[in-house]
Structure 1
Amino acid sequence: MGLRVSLLDGQRSVLFVHAHPDDETISTGALIAEFVARDSRVFLLTCSRGERGEVVDGPLTALAGTEELARERELELERATGILGITERFWLGEPPARVDGLEPRRYRDSGMVWIRPGLAGPADDAADDALSVAPLAEVTADIAALIVRLRPSLVISYDDGGGYGHPDHVRAHDAARAATTATGTAFAEVLEAPAGDEEWFDLPQHLAVVTDALRAHASQLTVHGTEIVHSGGQREAIGTSAGLRLHPHPAV
């Protein structure tokens, strides 16, 4: 039996697919920093601007529910990706993450409701142009267009439950996985807790850079020591551990 090759090894380029600004740092900041440290080119595709995100109490509170919040979250994402060392970032629906010949479109934040602590579900007032209600085939084709352009050696996104159930996370997973199947690209999903069939990474050496990147998302969270305080007051430890589960493509 040969030695197992780590998913961190030898990746010339990696594409992360995330639903909203700040997801890239909260759930995969340490992984991104590790790939950068290993000289992989890291690309980020963000599917929406997080227009419906709650805003922390403070000077940005008045932006909640406005177009100004979307612009602020764009700026926050720009700052965070610079801190993490991401090579280039893209918005879903805008070239090159858009099928050739189609007009650019904007996929909006679908919103969510809490079903119980730690588990979200769809909101009943998602707009017609929201990511979670957009045709899966269209979302898939837009992601595939970017994959064809970049030719990453690995694409990473959420697990099939979207991490904690957010409908935009679920749609990002479904579309990213379908797009990698269509393009013959390796796909791995992020796990926040060990499940037994993943490769697990503990990356405490990247705590400082992840913490700095989290601070860039000031409309959505506050950093207190080694904890994230979310807009609703929920607290969680800054994550520097994650699992990756590689999914083989079905035989064709």
Structure 2
Amino acid sequence: MTDLLPTPGILDGVSSVLFAHAHPDDETLASGGLIAELVARGVRVTLLTASRGERGEIVSGALPADTDADALTRARENELAGAVAALGISAQYWLGEQPARAAGLPLRRYRDSGMEWIRPGLAGPAGDADADALSVVPLDQVVDDVAALLAFEQPSLVISYDSDGGYGHPDHVRIGEAALAASVTAGIPYAELLETQSDAAEWFALSGHHDRVTAALRCHASQLTVVGDDIVHSGGQRHPIGTDVGLRIVEPADVPALSLRDLRELLDQH
């Protein structure tokens, strides 16, 4: 009888991972424990952030009462820099700025699209998103900018959201779509982040990185407060600090072998 070999894990043999997230703080909230685990394994971790989160609701008292969108932008840029350092991320890039910008094009700043709660735990598009908001800009342009960064970094794995963006935020959905399209076109494996265990996913129990994740969360003081082992968001929602996460590889068979143009059109219809 031949001994059965263990099933390879998603992260086996991975030397570099690029995370694609929508706003500052998403990297820590959605994947902080996994980032810390990868860094501990000696994997190069890079982060693509799509917008500055200009429309994020501010924690009461965290910033001056007259803070405008520009001031909030600067604050969130600084907060992200702190979280990046706390998690040990090697490099952080802004979508629309080189090297995450298609060749020959001027700098573009993708804006936070905003959101509205449809029901508890499920968000939908805001009715007043700007023309340069991430979810409003044509998908093919977003894909081209993500593709430029993939060509620059050449990661062995890309990680972003599942098809509903975790909880429906339109910016999460859009950066996930763009990261998937760019990854498929480049031939780079793409893994979805999952919040619950599933037979189709590999689950990572990462409570050993609780302190590092907590330190990164504290950097995002304009958006959340750490109270003991809980996170309290600006809107008052409270939940335990999470470190565990699931990953599911989107297999090539799950994505039609289409041209980039056709793939974009497919995602636009999604």
Same fold (TM over 0.5): yes
In structure 2, the residue matched to 1:195 is 198
CA distance in 2, matches of 1:180, 1:100: 18
Q: 1:173 aligns with which of 170, 173, 176?
A: 176
State the SS of the aligned residue for 1:76. helix
State the SS of the aligned residue for 2:45. strand
8 Å contact from structure 2 (residues 55, 112) kept in 1: yes
In structure 2, the residue matched to 1:126 is 129
Q: 1:248 deviation in Å? A: 1.4
Q: 1:63 deviation in Å? A: 5.5
Q: Which has the larger radius of gyration?
A: 2
> After the TM superposition, which residues 44-83 of structure 1 pair with which residues of structure 2 at under 5 Å, given as runs?
44-60=47-63, 62=65, 64-83=67-86
In structure 2, the residue matched to 1:19 is 22
Answering whether residue 222 of structure 2 is matched by residue 219 of structure 1, we say yes
CA distance in 2, matches of 1:63, 1:80: 25
State the SS of the aligned residue for 2:127. coil
In structure 2, the residue matched to 1:207 is 210
> After the TM superposition, which residues 71-150 of structure 1 pair with which residues of structure 2 at under 5 Å, given as runs?
71-150=74-153
Q: 1:7 deviation in Å? A: 1.6
8 Å contact from structure 2 (residues 225, 232) kept in 1: yes
Q: 1:10 deviation in Å? A: 2.0
8 Å contact from structure 1 (residues 53, 64) kept in 2: no
CA distance in 1, matches of 2:64, 2:174: 28
CA distance in 2, matches of 1:63, 1:228: 25
State the SS of the aligned residue for 1:109. coil
State the SS of the aligned residue for 1:57. coil
In structure 2, the residue matched to 1:233 is 236
In structure 2, the residue matched to 1:164 is 167
Answering whether residue 249 of structure 2 is matched by residue 246 of structure 1, we say yes
After superposition, the CA RMSD in angstroms is: 1.1
Return 5+ residue gaps in structure 2 as ranges: 258-270
CA distance in 1, matches of 2:66, 2:220: 14
CA distance in 2, matches of 1:251, 1:158: 19
State the SS of the aligned residue for 1:20. coil
The change in CA–CA distance for 1:208 and 1:157 in structure 2 (over 3 A counts) is same
Answering whether residue 46 of structure 2 is matched by residue 43 of structure 1, we say yes
CA distance in 2, matches of 1:45, 1:166: 17
CA distance in 2, matches of 1:108, 1:241: 30
8 Å contact from structure 2 (residues 14, 157) kept in 1: yes
In structure 2, the residue matched to 1:8 is 11
CA distance in 2, matches of 1:193, 1:108: 30
CA distance in 1, matches of 2:61, 2:12: 42
8 Å contact from structure 1 (residues 20, 46) kept in 2: yes
State the SS of the aligned residue for 2:196. coil
